[in-house]
Structure 1
Amino acid sequence: MFVTDAALIVLIGTKAQFIKTAPVLRELDVQKVPYRLVYTGQHSETFEALEACFGTRPPDEVLVPDTEAATKSALLGWSARFWRAVAARARSEEWRGCRIGVVHGDTMSTLFGAMATRYCGGRVAHIEAGLRSPKLMDPFPEEIIRRCVSRLSKLHFAPDSTAAANLAHVRGKVIDTGGNTLRDALRLALAAVEPGMSEGGIGGYGVVSIHRNENLSNAGDFDLLMGEVVRASAVMPLKFVLHPATRARLRTTGWMDRLRLNQGLELMERMNYPDFVRLLVGSSCLLTDGGSNQEEAAMLGLPTLLLRRATERPDGLGGNVVLSGLQPRIIRDFVENNAHRRWTLQAIGTDSPSAAIVRVLRSEMHASG
């Protein structure tokens, strides 16, 4: 254990959450705010590498060690073990001193972390609060999680004025942080891998990342996307970064063997964040269904095709990000227009959303102490 005081607990479950929360952890250390760092164990892949990249310390505890909830059955198993671990800590009063629990985003770890915080008597602080879709079930389960966590939270850290406006009627304090914490993570990564670079696309390849449940669980949409990936690989070399859930889906559908036979397509393991940013900067374009990828691309200026029918995120739309609507004609036109393209690398803003969040957390801790 690194700390014994559980007054401020930070709960992280997935790789994307770690990347977006790491700048907050660094800022907590800079502002000398003590905290207990808890990994939920929903994902374990690459966490040690990410700690080294961002200069953050190992966790004080891992609730469900040595697991990767990449399939529905694995997620159910992880869920049961998570609540057994939380119940044990509540019975032993290990977390009973919790005054604030910090969660991020819209994953199962977000919802379970918020519920666990309330169960142990603390207030929930939600980073990246206020994202909204007009449809409760789309995206699923993210939109349901967002709305539930908003009801549980007392501190809502919204990344922009639109997200803050979506929280006009919630209980607690709504704080517009003036940006997403991913801005801080991306700035750190760029400084490490491509200092002073002004042009992207030198590698002439495209990057593919597909992992959302809405695409993996719909057989027709998944087959459509895999077919378009194969078609695009005949136009330019593609590097397909495989998430654990995507890898599992490719194997069960038979697509894994078909993709491996394609010489224009390289299947890649997930990598540490600076290496992924380096991969993006070297690419001519990005094909993705990821919200974090959309945000990164919008800040970088990277031409990006969003492989979704609709999105609740405005980042880059009308600029360098195109929503495909899963329409084959839009997908093919984008690939043709951006193959081997060079693009201007945009400067990342210097205002720190993470510093703004920690200032509020420190004030709230002092007020409740």
Structure 2
Amino acid sequence: MLVGTKAQFIKTAPLLRELDGRGAAYRLIYTGQHSETFSSLEEAFGTRAADDHMVPGNEADSAPGLVGWALKFTLAAWRRIRAGAWRGASWGVVHGDTASTLLSALALRAAGVRVAHVEAGLRSPRLLSPFPEEIVRRWVSRLADLHLAPDAPALANLRGVSGRVVDTGGNTLLDALRLALDRLRPEHGQGGQGGYAIVSLHRTENLGSAAAFKILMQDVEATARQLPVRFVLHPVTRRKLQRSGWMERLSRQPGISLLERTDYVSFVRLMLGARLLMTDGGSNQEEAAMLGLPTVLMRTATERPDGLAEGGVVLSRLDSRIVAEFVAKHAGTSWTVRDLPADRSPSAVIVDELVRSDAGADRH
């Protein structure tokens, strides 16, 4: 099991807990693409420490940093392959559409290990948008032997691929969110009681465009004039704010609080207290749709359907008028926290598939 980013950890943690609950043997490997908050996530989810760190203590929070990490990871993987460290593994599990997903899948294939891809089948009609996620998705689908798809559109997108395609009945984020809500049950019920907005931005398409970034920051400022804003900073976003001068500008405004990232349960607590969420993150979109938290998706387009049809999630198209209307609508209202379905566990379905083949063998 190879994990590289915070979002991957959150969505993979329920799989680790399911494997531990069944007493199944596996190895957990951190790729080192991200390292920040991993120890707090381990504590929050009750998962054990990793068996191996490919690039210890690394945080690839810039384009040069990502290239440097990729080179170090490739060298570390090659050394492990030559030493036979992954020999005998029945499956190598990768998740999602990050650089870690692709490089891990390539390394596993080079080691002769079959690849299982969790959250397989997400597709955009455009090869270069979002970049590089769409390229990663399509490439990994050619490398994977087991495609673990969360929904009907994903299954349809995987028609014709080689290997086995399995409907997991949902995203593993459902299991992670259920775990967090169980711990927060006394606070669970009516959302928005904190009376603030959450902002979470990190996508390359937004941070890499000066024009798009300026629009986003102006939208944050405008929102802060309607209700308090709690801006959760990803490492790459913090770096962008510092270099662009926006960190100082935002920190001077009394309605904006700049927050460091925290563990997952604490972030879910933050969402429960919010009136609305402004984000460009796919995982945040999925979480908000499951919870019922009103969300404006700060992107020009999205391939994720979560919440859009029901109206709980609104696509901004980077149009400040859409954002302003959304904020005006929800700034003074609360919302009802949805009950998550208790009759299915995508993580259990995935582990069933993994354990069914070569039960008891080491899994990476």
Q: How far 1:305 moved relative to its partner?
A: 0.3
- In 1, the alpha carbon distance for the partners of 2:83 and 2:171 equals 36
Distance 2:231 2:293 in 1: 17
Task: Return the offset for 1:366.
Answer: 3.8
Could you tell me which runs of 5 or more consecutive residues in structure 2 were left unpaired when the two chains were aligned: none
Q: Measure the CA separation in 1 of the matches of 2:360 and 2:195.
A: 53
Say whether residues 1:62 and 2:50 are aligned partners: no
The equivalent residue for 2:325 is 333
- Give the direction of change, closer, same or farther, for the CA distance of 1:329–1:197 in structure 2 (3 Å limit): same
User: In the alignment, does 2:241 pair up with 1:259?
Assistant: no
Question: Counterpart of 1:236?
Answer: 227
Runs of 4 or more off by more than 3 Å in structure 1?
A: 366-369
Equivalent in the alignment of 2:355: 362
In 1, Cα distance between equivalents of 2:193 and 2:170? 29
Q: Secondary structure at the match of 1:284?
A: strand
Question: Match of 2:202?
Answer: 211
- C-alpha distance in 1, partners of 2:207/2:332? 28
TM-score by length of 2: 0.97
Please point out which of 23, 27, 36 is paired with 2:18.
27
Q: Matched residues in 1 for 2:253 and 2:360: separation?
A: 60
Are 1:96 and 2:87 an aligned pair?
Answer: yes
* Contact 1:285–1:341 (8 Å) recurs in 2: no
Partner of 1:285, secondary structure, is strand
CA distance in 1 between partners of 2:110 and 2:213 (Å): 38
Q: Deviations over 1:244-293 (max 9, x none)?
A: 00001111111111111111000000000000000000000000000000
Map residues 297-308 of structure 1 onto 2, 5 A cutoff.
Answer: 297-308=288-299
Aligned to 2:175: 184
Q: Number of aligned pairs?
A: 360
SS of aligned partner of 1:310: coil
Letter in 2 for 1:330: I
1:4 is matched with which residue? none
Deviation of the 1:146 alpha carbon: 0.3
What is the Cα deviation at residue 368 of structure 1?
9.1
**Structure 2 partner of 1:291:** 282
Structure 1, unmatched stretches of 5+, are 1-9
CA offset digits 1:30-51 (Å, max 9, x no partner): 1221001000011000101100
Structure-1 separation of matches of 2:358 and 2:37: 31
- Report the Cα distance in structure 2 between the residues aligned to 1:195 and 1:300, rounded to whole angstroms: 16
Amino acid in the other structure paired with 2:348: A
Distance 1:58 1:66 in 2: 14
Give yes or no for contact 1:201–1:340 (8 Å, CA) kept in 2. no
In 2: Cα distance, 1:344 partner to 1:90 partner: 51
Question: What SS class does the counterpart of residue 28 from structure 2 fall into?
Answer: strand
Amino acid corresponding to residue 295 of structure 1 in structure 2: E
Residue 96 (structure 1) shift: 2.0
Indicate whether 1:273 and 2:254 are aligned.
no
Q: CA deviation at 1:349?
A: 1.2
Are the equivalent residues in 2 in contact too, given 1:155–1:175 (CA < 8 A)? yes
Which of 135, 142, 158 is residue 151 of structure 1 equivalent to?
142
Match for 1:224 among 203, 210, 215? Answer: 215
The equivalences for 1:159-178 within 5 A come to: 159-178=150-169
Cα distance in 2, alignment partners of residues 72 and 134 from structure 1: 25
Q: RMSD value over aligned CA atoms?
A: 1.2
Once residues 39 and 342 of structure 1 are traced to their aligned partners in structure 2, the CA distance between those partners, rounded to angstroms, is: 39
Report deviation, 1:367.
11
Measure the CA separation in 2 of the matches of 1:218 and 1:204.
31
Contact conserved, 2:115 with 2:143, CA < 8 A, in 1?
yes
Which has the bigger relative contact order, CA under 8 A and spacing at least 6? 2
Distance in 2 between residues matched to 1:194 and 1:209, nearest whole Å: 24
Deviation readout 1:190-244 (Å, 9 max, x if unpaired):
1112347221000010000000111010110001100110111011100000000
Aligned: 1:84 with 2:75:
yes
Paired residue secondary structure (2:145): strand
For residues 214 and 347 of structure 2, what CA distance do their matches in structure 1 show?
A: 39
- 2:338 is aligned, of 346, 356, 360, to 346
Out of 193, 205, 213, which is 1:202 matched to? 193
Equivalents in 2 of 1:189, 1:112: separation in Å? 30
Secondary structure class of the residue paired with 2:73: helix
In the alignment, the residues of structure 2 paired with residue 50 and residue 340 of structure 1 have an alpha-carbon distance, to the nearest angstrom, of 32
